[in-house]
Amino acid sequence: MLSADYPVTMVRLALERVAARQETECPVLVLPNFIQAGDRHHTTVVRGAALRYDQTFPLGELAEQAQRRRVDPVEGIAELDRIHALPRRFPSWVGVIGYGLQSAAYGLILQPTVVSLIAATGFGLIVGLLELATRKNAALRQLLPVLSAFLVTYVAFSLGRLLHMGHDSLRVLIAPLTLFLPGVAITLAVIESSTSEMVSGSARLMAGLMRLAQLALGILLAVQLLGLSWSELADAPVNTLGSWAPWLGVAVYAVAITLHLGPPRGFAPWLMLVLFTAYGAQVLTNAAFGGYVSGFGGGLILILCALALSRLSMTPVAQVMLAPGFWLLVPSSIGMIGVAELASGQGSAAITVMLVSMMSIALGFTSGFAAWNTFARRGTDPESTTEL
């Protein structure tokens, strides 16, 4: 569950429920990469790569079954081994195409112009190839955010000068670099800090800030190497395609998620529903209150939608429905633009904008959890794992 980015509060609750079902006395200490169960002689350290998105579907089902004692420990361990060994649904080259489409979707949402769409697709394919090439090299993978940010920035601004792209120059950086946004880490940091998990929350926040620093460093190196002026780093949102373009981007994003991450068959309708609901809530909140809190409305409705759908028998657990909507909300708020503006000398303001946009989504999540646990879950199964 930690490898699938569950909050530590949810992991602890699951372990305590499993222990209670097994009639075992088992105090638990849970940190983002460490679990101690029982005493110092019974310790598990979580290491290795995070689970792929497609692997979180059977994991969520297993966690639900274990907490209801519908699976014994031997069967559960065997199922965990099976989950870790699951092959990807599609070949690697399909995943690269999926990430290119994902970048194109963000291009339609953030800067619906022909030039931006072409650039976002091309750079997305390049970053997807880099991610594939470094998949088995841990050292290079640690450098991937810096390398990708540098490459995308250098090529984008070089082409911008040659082709006189103008207003497209800054926003073209956003779409292909969304793979490296630390939105999950910062959101979990806010959720865990709000539930008194200060150690875990602080650790995740620092990890998120380090990822932002890597992106900013790659962008800054390219900017300095090219000798760009501040006038070339302007950000001006432009829509030359029409008001329909961002909504088409959401649909393209759903197709891209399917190709890039390979969720199970039959998930597409629920994916579409969650994405359009979350994005629509964000757009309405932006129109009513402004961009700084648009993520709050999107996060609030997203969590309520996912929790409500998870009560249906044919849907997966809430956690796997939350993830795609969350990945859509972070870039379509104004977080990544803050990283790009950091390179133009607007450091303090950019960092504030960036953190506020991400934290507003996290606060929307926590507010949604609070509302669900206060009202919607009255009279339902108290063993539900959606409670934080």
Instruction: Answer whether residue 184 is part of any domain.
Output: yes
**What residue numbers bound the domain in which 145 lies?**
92-374
249 in the same domain as 354: yes
Task: Please state, in angstroms and rounded to a whole number, the distance separating the CA atoms of residues 329 and 323.
Answer: 10
Interval 331-369: pLDDT, tens: 765 544 555 555 555 555 555 666 677 778 878 888 888
Whether 213 is covered by a domain: the verdict is: yes
Residue 385 forms part of a structural domain: no
**pLDDT class of 247 with cuts at 50, 70, 90:** very high
Closest-CA residue to 208 (of 192, 185, 190)? 185
pLDDT the model gives residue 49: 62
Residues 48 and 182 placed together within one structural domain of the fold:
no
pLDDT tens by residue, 204-224: 888 888 888 888 888 888 888
Residue 317 has what pLDDT?
A: 86
Residues 167 and 34 grouped into a single domain: no
Assess contact for 360 and 293: CB atoms under 8 A. yes
Residues 99 and 10 in one domain: no
Which residues lie closer than 8 Å to 227 by C-beta, 6 or more apart?
none
71 and 18 in one domain? yes
Are 295 and 357 in contact by the 8 Å Cβ rule? The answer is: yes
pLDDT value at position 380? 52
Q: Predicted confidence band at 388 (pLDDT cuts at 50, 70, 90)?
A: very low
Residues 118 and 218 grouped into a single domain: yes
Residue (of 217, 322, 226) closest to 270 by Cα position: 322
In a domain, residue 284? The reply is yes
Mean local confidence (pLDDT), 227-237: 67
Picking from 27, 56, 85, the residue at the C-terminal end of a domain is 85
Whether 67 and 152 map to the same domain: the answer is: no
Same domain, 52 and 15: yes
> Are 175 and 156 in a shared domain?
yes
User: Shortest CA distance to 45 belongs to which of 58, 57, 35, 55?
Assistant: 35
- Average predicted confidence (pLDDT) for the chain: 80
Does residue 284 surpass a pLDDT of 50?
yes
* Number of independent structural domains in the chain: 2
Q: What are the CA-CA distances from residue 139 to residues 144, 147, 196, 315, 328 (Å)? A: 9, 12, 34, 38, 28
Does 382 map to a domain?
no
In this predicted structure, the answer to whether residue 140 has a pLDDT above a threshold of 90 is: no
CB-CB neighbours of 193 under 10 Å: 18
57 plus 141 within the same structural domain: no
Q: What is the mean pLDDT of residues 128-157?
A: 88
Give per-residue pLDDT as tens, 287-330: 887 766 777 888 889 888 888 888 888 888 888 888 888 888 87
Residue 387 belongs to some domain of the structure: no
